[in-house]
Amino acid sequence: MSAMLFGPLPRYLRRLLGMRVLAVLLSLGGLLQILDLLDATTEIMARGQGLGGVGHYISLRAPTLLLQALPLAALIGAVFTFTTLAKQHEVIALRAAGIPFRRVVLVLLPTVVIIAAAQWLLAEVVVPQSQRALTAWWAALPSPKDEPADAELLWFKSSGAVIGVDRARPDGRQLDGVRIFRRDAEGHLLSRTLASSAIYANRQWTLSQAVTTDFKAAKTSPPVPQLPLDIALRPSDVQRLSAAEPYVSGGLAAAVLTGANPGIKTPAFYRTRVQKAYADPVMALVMLLLATPVAVALTRVAKGGPTLVALGTGLLFLLVHGLCSALGEAGLLTPEVAAWAAPAGFGLLGLFFLVQLDRHQ
SS3 content of the chain, % helix, strand, coil (to 5): 60, 15, 25
Residue 326 contacts residue 337 (beta carbons within 8 Å): no
| Per-residue pLDDT at 78 | 94
CA distance 259 to 264: 12
Residue 300 contacts residue 327 (beta carbons within 8 Å): no
Which residues are 174's β-sheet partners?
A: 199
Per cent of the chain over pLDDT 90 is 42
Query: Packing angle between helix 335-359 and helix 283-290, nearest 10 degrees?
Result: 30
Which residues are 161's β-sheet partners?
A: 158, 182
Closest CA to 205 of 262, 142, 253: 262
Q: What is the pLDDT of residues 300-322, one digit of tens each?
A: 455 567 888 899 999 999 999 99
Taking the alpha carbons of 336, 76, 285, 303 in that order, is the dihedral positive or negative? positive
| Per-residue pLDDT at 11 | 87
Residue 231 contacts residue 163 (beta carbons within 8 Å): yes
Residue 263 is classified by DSSP as B
CA distance 276 to 338: 8
pTM above 0.85, yes or no: no
| Per-residue pLDDT at 1 | 45
**What is the pLDDT tens value at each position of the chain, 361 positions in all?**
444 555 677 888 899 999 999 999 999 999 999 999 988 888 888 888 888 889 999 999 999 999 999 999 999 999 999 888 888 877 777 777 767 788 888 899 999 999 999 999 999 999 999 988 888 788 777 766 555 545 567 888 887 788 889 888 877 888 988 999 988 877 788 889 999 999 998 888 999 988 999 888 888 888 888 988 888 888 878 877 877 667 889 998 998 888 878 888 889 999 999 999 999 999 999 999 999 888 776 554 555 678 888 999 999 999 999 999 999 999 999 999 999 999 999 999 999 988 887 776 5
Q: What is the pLDDT of residues 171-226, one digit of tens each?
A: 788 898 899 998 887 778 888 999 999 999 888 899 998 899 988 888 888 888 89
